Amino acid sequence: MYKQRFCLDTSVFTEPSVRKALGFKTITELTNKMIDLIAEARVKLNISCHIPYPSVYNELIGFLENEGCPKDIIVKVDTWLVKKTPNRYEIKIPSEIFYEYIKDLRERINKGLRIGEEYIIKASNMVYDLTKKNPELSKEEILNTTLSKTISNFRNKYREALRVGTLDSAPDLDVLLLAKELDAAVVASDGGIEKWAQRLGLRFVNAADFPFMLEEYLNHNEKFKNRKF
């Protein structure tokens, strides 16, 4: 019998849309619910949920500790999530994947440089206009006014150019490597993880759908058990 395995990203327990859909306000509440579902699926259906250790695991524990999560919930996390470090020396990744990643990264860096140039010009023009229209303003006042209007927008544009839709952290990569090693489905809400999971030929489940998928598995199992032949 084929065993279902899932490799979980932190977003499984932190995704705001899932908290809203299930009526929870905190990461701790969602985590408690998710672990209960994972435990039931493990016992009844032999479904196993893995989490990269220590990278993704430490991220999750950090979120929980910041909320003052009760110790018993952390014990449940340690009990029902299978912690494993990806075997980075043995997992084979096609060289084409690295080629695509480097190409994508180079394009993003170039886009980031263009955004930086754009905002330097905008800031320079703002300084010039302010100086011309308000000669009484001090250097500090001019800089503060200019920076407050440009830095926030620049950061958002720059972050979008370099980080959205790509792998931008070691935990992200660990999720993919562990899933590849275990032939497991990737569960995340990150667009970059989804994109590269597809490149690697891995199954992908959106974190927002995962609790409802587990509930469907469990409900169908109960119906099947109660069916009369």
Cβ pair 193, 175 in contact under 8 A: yes
Q: How confident is the model at residue 228 (pLDDT cuts 50, 70, 90)?
A: low
Mean local confidence (pLDDT), 170-187: 96
Q: What is the pLDDT of residues 184-195, one digit of tens each?
A: 999 999 899 999
Q: Rounded CA gap, 25 and 208, in Å? A: 15
Cut 0.95: pTM above it: no
pLDDT of amino acid 229:
52
- Backbone φ/ψ region at 121: left (φ over 0), alpha (ψ -120 to 50), beta: alpha
Identify the CA nearest to 218 among candidates 78, 81, 49, 46.
Answer: 46
Q: Rounded CA gap, 77 and 169, in Å? A: 23
Amino acid identity, position 166: T
> Is the per-residue pLDDT at 224 higher than 80?
no
